[in-house]
């Protein structure tokens, strides 16, 4: 539920520049639907939200999946957004989810806070940060194949690295 505003505007511009109108997008950990509100008029969006009260409140998406991203099987999305998601998972689970997604999308956005401790919020056990030790260096060590869209000392947005 907690997310920084820094970099969101630049990341929206990045998404518009890299995808045509009507591209498909999967919003993982949609929470309150902030990504749909920011880019929903440009993308055909589906959402995955594990916490039922949040999932029930989501609107504007083509489909809302109320389950853990680890349990969702899909073929392809042009863009997959992991907005403040991987820090809520073990390193192994996050690596598995990102590996699965990597081959099933043109690109992805991974938004991640650094050195951010967080427990349950409003009784939502999924809000706890398991990877509260993340730094840019640890992100690059744990998650290969990504480069920053924009990076701040406390927060960053990554996408698939361009193969050179």
Structure tokens belonging to residue 120? 């349950």
**What is the structure's pLDDT at 114?**
75
- Which tens digit of pLDDT belongs to each residue from 25-72? 999 999 889 999 999 999 999 999 998 998 999 999 999 999 999 999
pTM for the model stands at: 0.90
Question: Contact at 8 Å (CB) between 89 and 61?
Answer: no
Q: Is 118 helix (H, G, I), strand (E, B) or coil?
A: coil
Which domains does the chain possess? 8-160 (3.40.50.150)
Residue 30 contacts residue 64 (beta carbons within 8 Å): yes
Give yes or no for a contact between 80 and 28, defined as CB atoms under 8 angstroms apart.
yes
More confident residue, 128 or 54: 54
């Amino acid at each position: 539920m907690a997310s920084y505003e820094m970099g969101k505007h630049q990341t929206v511009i990045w998404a518009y520049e890299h995808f045509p109108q009507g591209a498909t997008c999967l919003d993982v950990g949609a929470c309150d639907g902030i990504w749909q509100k920011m880019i929903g008029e440009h993308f055909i969006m589906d959402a995955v939200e594990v916490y039922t009260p949040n999932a029930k409140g989501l609107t504007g998406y083509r489909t809302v999946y109320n389950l853990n991203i680890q349990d969702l099987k899909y073929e392809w999305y042009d863009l997959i957004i992991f907005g403040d998601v991987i820090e809520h998972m073990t390193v192994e689970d996050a690596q598995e989810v990102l590996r699965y997604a990597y081959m099933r999308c043109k690109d992805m956005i991974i938004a991640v806070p650094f050195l951010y401790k967080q427990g349950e919020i409003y009784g939502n056990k999924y809000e706890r940060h398991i990877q509260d030790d993340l730094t840019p260096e640890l992100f690059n060590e744990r998650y290969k194949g990504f480069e920053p869209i924009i990076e701040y000392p406390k927060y960053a947005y990554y996408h698939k690295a361009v193969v050179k």
